[in-house]
Structure formats: structure tokens, C-alpha cells
């Protein structure tokens, strides 16, 4: 069974942790699961990620930012996502096309139709079957994201955490607008609470699709 789930949400909403928890649950049911992320997910896209998320690149033009995301996505889809789906794997992706609409479209103010056209150019018909939107107040998410980055031993990827609260509110409202437009695909998940509570909310949605495999 191939199935594509994207996780979306503002900075610090807990996507990465919840992807791992869902993957573990699906694997316990016998599914072959691939976790990936955007920007990144493969060597070429990871190089673009370093440019996009480096706080030193605070003067990156919004149009250049948009094009870099599209380039990273095109490589990621061709090299990682499509092959995994063709191998009947479950793909869980930390951000995808909706993030570009929310961040570069709604928050940066770039033309939404242009953003959508670039998403189609980069991803083609490779669309998530289900999108889980982890929703929370931006002030809570940004605080968590900044704490995470301070404790991170790897490269600093905090460029978006430097943005204003007003910017992140626009991102959140953009996501909610997308969910309103596509309620069958995009499911809003309350991202406040314990890890277990949030994981259970996610599973209530995902369990409608996934059943034990291989006689388990």
C-alpha cells in the first residue's frame, strides 16, 4: 500500500516528533514507512536547505526564496518521494507544498497563483493523500522553536524564527485558509497538550486509513 501524508504547521508545532510517533505506530502494524522532510530529504535538496534556513541569509529575496524551495522540491519528489510511493511505501513528509503557500504566499505576500504554479511544476501530480495541520498559537510555537534551536548541536537553522510574530500569525492564518478550502485532505490537529494526547488525535484521523498488515 502506498500512501502519502504531509505534516504542516508553524515553527515549533511539534511536526517532527509526531511524524516519528506515527511512523513507529504504522511500522508496528506492518507498514513500510519512509520519513522525509522539506526543504531537504536528499543530498541536493539538503544543500539548498542550508541556504534557506541559515540565519545569516536574512536578506534573501522572497522570489529567490520561492524558487529555491521549488528547486529543492523538484529534486526531492523525483529522487525520494515518487520512488518510495512506487515501492508501495508509506511516505511521511515534514512540510510540503502547503508550506510554500502559507509562508511564501500568505506570509511573504507573493502571488498565490504563481506559488501554486511553481508547486505544480516542482511536484507534478505528486500530492498528499492526507495532510495533518498541527495548529497552535504562534507565540507558543516560536518560543518552543527557539528553545529547540538553542539546544541544537547541529547547524543553525533558525532563519524563520527571526521573523516577527505578525509574520507567523500570517503563516498560521494561511494554513487555516488552506484547510478551509480543502477540508477532505487537510485535517486540523490541536497541537497543544502532551505528546501522547497529540499523537492520539493524529491516530484518530489516520486509523481510518490504516489497518494491520500481514495478518498482524
Give the pLDDT confidence score for residue 158 in this predicted structure. 75
Query: Does residue 59 lie within any of the structural domains?
Result: yes
Query: Does residue 213 lie within any of the structural domains?
Result: no
Give the pLDDT confidence score for residue 1 in this predicted structure. 83
Q: For a pLDDT cut of 90, what percent of the chain falls above it?
A: 82
Query: Does residue 118 lie within any of the structural domains?
Result: yes
Model confidence at 215, pLDDT cuts 50, 70, 90, reads very low
CATH of the domain at 17: 3.40.50.300
Residue 2, pLDDT > 80, answer yes
Give the pLDDT confidence score for residue 4 in this predicted structure. 98
Alpha-carbon torsion angle 60, 179, 166, 16, nearest 10: -60
pLDDT per residue over 114-133, tens digit each?
999 999 999 999 999 999 99
pTM over 0.85: yes
Query: Does residue 212 lie within any of the structural domains?
Result: no
Contacts 24+ apart (CB under 8 A), 155-162: 155/50, 155/54, 156/54, 156/55, 157/49, 157/53, 157/54, 158/53, 158/55, 159/52, 159/53, 159/54, 159/55, 159/57, 159/58, 159/60, 160/11, 160/53, 160/103, 161/11, 162/55, 162/58
What are the E-state strand segments in 51-177? 90-94, 130-135
DSSP string, 12-76: TS-HHHHHHHHHHHHHHTT--EEEEESS-SSHHHHHHHHHHH-GGGTT--HHHHHHHHHHHHHHH
Neighbours of 50 (CB within 10 A): 13
Q: Is 159 helix (H, G, I), strand (E, B) or coil?
A: coil
pLDDT per residue over 102-118, tens digit each?
999 999 999 999 999 99
Q: Contact, 27 vs 154, CB < 8 A?
A: no
Q: Higher-confidence residue: 161 or 136?
A: 136
Write out the residue range of the structural domain in which residue 42 sits. 3-206
Query: Does residue 216 lie within any of the structural domains?
Result: no
CA neighbours within 13 Å on the CB side: how many for 204?
10
Instruction: Give how many domains the chain has, as a whole number.
Output: 1
Scanning the structure block, which residue is given the C-alpha cell 508547486?
119
Strands 186-190 and 33-37: unpaired
Give the pLDDT confidence score for residue 211 in this predicted structure. 74
Residue 63, pLDDT > 80, answer yes
CB contact set of 55 (below 8 Å; sequence gap of 6+) = 156, 158, 159, 162
Query: Does residue 97 lie within any of the structural domains?
Result: yes
Pick from 126, 208, 135: nearest CA to 177: 135
Amino acid at each position: 500500500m502506498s500512501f502519502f501524508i504531509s505534516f504542516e504547521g508553524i515553527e515549533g508545532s511539534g511536526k517532527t516528533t509526531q511524524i516519528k510517533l506515527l511512523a513507529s505506530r504504522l511500522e508496528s502494524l506492518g507498514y513500510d514507512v519512509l520519513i522525509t522532510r522539506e526543504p531537504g530529504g536528499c543530498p541536493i535538496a539538503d544543500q539548498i536547505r542550508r541556504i534557506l534556513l541559515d540565519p545569516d541569509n536574512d536578506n534573501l529575496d522572497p522570489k529567490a526564496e520561492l524558487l529555491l524551495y521549488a528547486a529543492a522540491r523538484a529534486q526531492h519528489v523525483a529522487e525520494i518521494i515518487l520512488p518510495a510511493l512506487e515501492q508501495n511505501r508509506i511516505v511521511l513528509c515534514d512540510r510540503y507544498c502547503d508550506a510554500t503557500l502559507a509562508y511564501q504566499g500568505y506570509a511573504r505576500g507573493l502571488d498565490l497563483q504563481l506559488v501554486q504554479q511553481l508547486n505544480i511544476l516542482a511536484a507534478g501530480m505528486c500530492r498528499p493523500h492526507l495532510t495533518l495541520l498541527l495548529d497552535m498559537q504562534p507565540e507558543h510555537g516560536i518560543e518552543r522553536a527557539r528553545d529547540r534551536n538553542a539546544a541544537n548541536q547541529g547547524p543553525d537553522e533558525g532563519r524563520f524564527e527571526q521573523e516577527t510574530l505578525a509574520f507567523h500569525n500570517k503563516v498560521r492564518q494561511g494554513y487555516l485558509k488552506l484547510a478551509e478550502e480543502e477540508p477532505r485532505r487537510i485535517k486540523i490537529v490541536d497541537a497543544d497538550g502532551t505528546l501522547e494526547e497529540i499523537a492520539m488525535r493524529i491516530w484518530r484521523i489516520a486509523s481510518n486509513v490504516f489497518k494491520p498488515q500481514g495478518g498482524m
